[in-house]
Amino acid sequence: MKTGAGMLRMSLAVATMLAGLCAACGGDDTTADVRSPFGAVTATTTFGLGGNIPNYETTPFLGGVVGEKVIGGKSFHRFRVGYDVTNVTDLGKPDAKATEVWFGKPDKDTVVVAGFQEHGGTTFTLDTPVTFHLLPPVGETKTVVVQGMATSPDKPTPAAATVTAVATLTNPDVEVDTKMGHLTHCRRYDGTLTISGPGAPAIVQDLPIAVQAWYHPDLGIVAGNLPDLGMDMGLTAESDYGDLNATSGHNTIRKVGNLTGTTTSFNLSTYDRRQEFDATKFEHAKMFVELRWADDANALTMGAPTSPSVQVELGDPYGVFFSSAWGSTLTASPLSIFHPEENGKGYKYWYAYASEADRYVPGADGIEYHVSVTKDASVPALRVTARIAYTLVDDGGGAVVTK
């Protein structure tokens, strides 16, 4: 099997198509109480994706919807996975190194795909958008054949190509170990993708690509394997910063991720929405964080995360509202507020909450609020989930405060 840049691009193309199939695009989280379930994927959700790709090392990829594309008079979401970006603003830039799929989602179990495009790689536009049903009869094999026009670096002239997808929902309710911990109530799909015709990239032409994917109704695709390409990827973090174009009113941001031996810091910041200090200092921001040991056995038996090995902070650039390093104490609970589907299993959770503003800081309005957690590399994996609800500066922010 060939590897290198061509394999990387094709691997990401398949991974992006899978992620796009299961990305939800309905509803929003802007009115959620900070102390409420994490909530389903929305059109503004972004995904951290990590895994193994032959001959390629990278930080986790970032995925999310970056806009709309009109094809045949109809509008489709542009779901993009970037492999050289670190924030949602850069992910949407025209020159971002990324792969994107064009899709619509009329309901939670139906998706319509119109094509995909790789940065510097293959572009495939379907002659007719194809509809996929994400909850078919269990064990029943479905075959979908789609045709369109493709270009690739080795075949720059548009030519006809055919994609054949064969898939089976092998289990509608399965538990799976993921890069974000043990998840329940997932669906497992098994199948193959084959690209044929004169427009197919030479690297995978007529080669059936085996695909395994696990989907969670709230989180989307949480794990996937492409064994023929020597690749596996999974969800490492999920975040939602709300409407990036909003310049006034209320906004809610949220994030969930695992701290491990290599990823030792977690940060949810209002600054990361648009790389601006656009939260008002005159109204309280509500900050809430939940911690749980990621391993199920540890979540049942281990005690509270404690400073200095685990440090939790809720604050802004001028002050700290909660700090375990300064003596603040996490609140223990047998129940998860963010992940109620886990309740009743005996896991232990710890919380911190603050409702604060900083109206007396100098200068014009415009500040940043954050939730941060750091962990010593020797400490077992820790899952962190956080949400901040706040009010935007009326003029969209002024970036007047520096960290």
Percent residues over pLDDT 90 in the chain: 43
**Structure confidence at residue 269 as a pLDDT band (50, 70, 90):** very high
**pLDDT above 90: residue 233:** no
Q: What residues contact 248, with CB distance under 8 A and at least 6 apart?
A: 392, 393, 394, 395, 396
Residue scoring higher pLDDT (21 or 304): 304
Q: Using the 8-state DSSP alphabet, how is residue 205 labeled?
A: B
Contact 230, 222 (CB under 8 A): no
Mean pLDDT of 113-135: 85
**pLDDT above 70: residue 198:** yes
DSSP string over 57-105:
--SPEEEEEEEEEEETTEEEEEEEEESS--SHHHHTSTT--EEEEEEEE
* pTM as predicted: 0.81
pLDDT (tens digit per residue) in 278-300: 999 999 999 999 999 999 899 99
The C-alpha atoms of residue 179 and residue 177 are separated, in whole angstroms, by: 7
pLDDT (tens digit per residue) in 2-57: 444 555 555 555 556 555 555 555 544 444 589 999 988 888 888 888 877 766 65
Q: Specify the pLDDT at position 152.
A: 82
Most confident of 79-83, 234-238, 322-326: 322-326
Q: Read off the amino acid at residue 203.
A: I
pLDDT (tens digit per residue) in 154-190: 888 989 999 898 999 999 999 888 877 778 889 999 9
Residue range 241-391, CATH number: 2.60.120
Q: What residues contact 165, with CB distance under 8 A and at least 6 apart?
A: 132, 143, 144, 145, 146, 191, 192, 193
Of 29-38, 117-126, 156-165, 394-403, which range is least confident?
A: 394-403
Average pLDDT, the chain: 85
Residue scoring higher pLDDT (384 or 112): 384
In the chain, domain spans: 5-239, 241-391
**pLDDT above 50: residue 399:** no
First to last CA, the chain: 48
Q: Specify the pLDDT at position 23.
A: 56
Q: Specify the pLDDT at position 1.
A: 37
Structure tokens that stand for 219 in this block = 């989180």
Q: What residues contact 107, with CB distance under 8 A and at least 6 apart?
A: none
pLDDT (tens digit per residue) in 338-381: 999 889 999 999 999 999 999 988 888 999 999 999 999 999 99
Q: Specify the pLDDT at position 88.
A: 80
DSSP string over 299-344:
HHH-----TTTEEEEEE-SS-EEEEGGGT--PEEESS-SS-GGGTT
Residue scoring higher pLDDT (328 or 232): 328
Structure tokens that stand for 258 in this block = 């695992």
Q: Specify the pLDDT at position 25.
A: 54
Structure tokens that stand for 16 in this block = 């992006």
Name the strands in the sheet holding 320-323, side by side, starting at the edge strand that comes first in the sequence.
265-269, 370-375, 310-315, 320-323
Q: Specify the pLDDT at position 5.
A: 52
The C-alpha atoms of residue 147 and residue 145 are separated, in whole angstroms, by: 7
Helix (H) or strand (E) holding 14: helix 5-21
pLDDT (tens digit per residue) in 146-155: 899 988 888 8
Q: Specify the pLDDT at position 55.
A: 63
Q: Using the 8-state DSSP alphabet, how is residue 26 labeled?
A: S
**3-state SS class at 226:** strand
Residue scoring higher pLDDT (225 or 320): 320
